[in-house]
């Protein structure tokens, strides 16, 4: 019985770890910008074990057109069973993807908590000083106060107020230093975020079967919406007698959620196809007009004979309609 349980747990553990998703990041290499969309060409590298694996590709645009996904690989030993886009994927991978940024965020959280506690202590000391000043004025103005009581009160007030005021100086200094550190860390976090490639929430989940395992490279292409470009011209002239210099330029706007810095751009003055389906070819049959009472006659120059020519049905093939 124990042996069977041990084998069961070993099998369950192996199955669990074999199903653990493999994360990799898509790199945008080139973009073909159409008038109202863009084709993003990416490269993906992943190390696959033998068997079935779930590969999660990050850095996918949130504006993806899912029907336009095309994946090619150089490894003939693997087969892609399915590809599905997900707008979010719950995993600790995203929290640890940028370790430097995570450390800065953790430090900011600690300092924010510390600054809140210091601020509470500052406010408490300020209220205590206000209370001492108020009570000291009331007791000094009382008719029942004796000289001994006034001297005792004055000594207590002096000692306590000095103690709180000195402590308040240290607290204010500590609070100022904490705020300066917070501002420095926030600036570092902003710089780190701008330096890193923009990280979108969308992922592409692939189901892949590999016979022997190993490294695989894939070319990933898809269409993304919310991309526009429009031409404009810059005309310069030095003299009336000289020809004008006309410069063609383009304004490109993209809201794909990805950084296109250093990416090769190609501008296309057309609209992209929204699917990757082959066109459907349908034959087109044409019937000519035929009058049963009329016939076309022709005469031979050599023989005085008359030949009857009837127009027959004509069939045309090769006409197709491409689905857009």
Q: Is residue 8 part of a domain?
A: no
What confidence tens digit (pLDDT) does each residue in 24-74 have? Answer: 999 999 999 998 899 999 999 999 999 999 999 989 998 999 999 999 998
Is 31 in the same domain as 66? yes
- From 180, 195, 210, give the residue that closes a domain: 195
Is 241 in the same domain as 230? yes
Is 86 in the same domain as 208? yes
Is 184 in the same domain as 114? yes
| Predicted TM-score (pTM) above 0.85 | no
Domain containing residue 289: 280-321
- From 173, 195, 217, give the residue that closes a domain: 195
Q: Is residue 70 part of a domain?
A: yes
- Secondary element (H or E) of residue 205: strand 202-210
**Top-confidence residue, 283 or 171:** 171
For the packed helices 147-195 and 99-140, what is the interaxial angle rounded to 10 degrees?
160
What confidence tens digit (pLDDT) does each residue in 140-156 have? Answer: 555 555 667 667 777 77
On the question of pLDDT at 312 being above 90, the answer is: no
Is 115 in the same domain as 233? no
- What's the rounded Cα separation, in Å, for the pair 226 and 174? 48
- From 139, 169, 195, give the residue that closes a domain: 195
Q: Is residue 9 part of a domain?
A: no
Burial of 55 (0-12, 13-18, 19+ CB in 10 A): buried
- Name the band, by pLDDT with cuts 50, 70 and 90, for residue 302: very low
- What's the rounded Cα separation, in Å, for the pair 224 and 66? 9
Among candidate residues 261, 255, 257, 263, the one with its CA nearest the CA of residue 42: 263
CA dihedral (151, 154, 158, 160) positive or negative: positive
**Top-confidence residue, 61 or 188:** 61
What's the mean pLDDT in 81-85? Answer: 92
Is 210 in the same domain as 189? no
Q: Is residue 6 part of a domain?
A: no
Q: Is residue 12 part of a domain?
A: no
Is 167 in the same domain as 190? yes
Residue-wise burial string across 244-278, b where 16 or more C-beta atoms lie within 10 A, e elsewhere: eeeeeeeeeebebbbbbeeeeeeeeeeebeeeeee
Q: What is the pLDDT of residue 294?
A: 52
On the question of pLDDT at 117 being above 80, the answer is: yes
Q: Is residue 158 part of a domain?
A: yes
On the question of pLDDT at 267 being above 60, the answer is: yes
Is 62 in the same domain as 176? no
What's the mean pLDDT in 207-217? Answer: 89
Is 289 in the same domain as 159? no
Q: Is residue 7 part of a domain?
A: no
How many structural domains are present in the chain?
3
Q: What is the pLDDT of residue 43?
A: 95
Q: Is residue 148 part of a domain?
A: yes
Is 188 in the same domain as 212? no
Is 286 in the same domain as 225? no
Count of residues in the chain? 324
Is 26 in the same domain as 175? no
On the question of pLDDT at 260 being above 80, the answer is: yes
On the question of pLDDT at 92 being above 80, the answer is: no
**Top-confidence residue, 224 or 191:** 224
């Amino acid at each position: 019985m124990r042996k069977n349980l041990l084998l069961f747990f070993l099998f369950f553990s192996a199955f669990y770890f074999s199903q653990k998703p493999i994360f990799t990041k898509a790199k945008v290499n080139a973009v073909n910008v159409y008038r109202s969309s863009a084709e993003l060409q990416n490269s993906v590298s992943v190390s696959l074990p033998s068997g079935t694996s779930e590969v999660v590709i990050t850095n996918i645009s949130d504006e993806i057109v899912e029907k336009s996904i095309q994946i090619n690989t150089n490894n003939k030993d693997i087969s892609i069973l399915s590809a599905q886009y997900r707008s979010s994927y719950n995993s600790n991978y995203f929290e640890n993807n940028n370790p430097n940024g995570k450390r800065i965020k953790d430090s900011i959280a600690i300092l924010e908590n510390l600054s809140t506690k210091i601020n509470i202590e500052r406010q408490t000391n300020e209220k205590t000083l206000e209370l001492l000043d108020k009570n000291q004025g009331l007791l000094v103005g009382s008719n029942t106060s004796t000289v001994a009581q006034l001297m005792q009160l004055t000594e207590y007030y002096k000692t306590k107020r000095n103690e709180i005021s000195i402590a308040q100086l240290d607290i204010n200094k500590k609070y100022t230093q904490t705020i300066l550190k917070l501002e420095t860390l926030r600036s570092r976090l902003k710089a780190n975020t701008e330096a890193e490639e923009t990280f979108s929430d969308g992922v592409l989940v692939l189901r892949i079967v590999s016979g022997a395992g190993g490294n695989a490279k894939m070319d990933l292409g898809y269409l993304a919406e919310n991309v526009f470009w429009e031409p404009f011209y810059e005309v310069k002239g030095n003299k009336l007698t000289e020809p004008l210099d006309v410069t063609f330029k383009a304004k490109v706007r993209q809201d794909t959620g990805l950084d296109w810095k250093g990416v090769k751009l190609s501008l296309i003055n057309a609209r992209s196809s929204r699917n990757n389906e082959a066109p459907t070819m349908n034959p087109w049959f044409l019937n000519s007009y035929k009058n049963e009472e009329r016939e076309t006659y022709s005469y031979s120059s050599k023989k005085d004979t008359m030949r009857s020519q009837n127009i027959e049905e004509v069939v045309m093939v090769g006409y197709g309609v491409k689905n857009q």
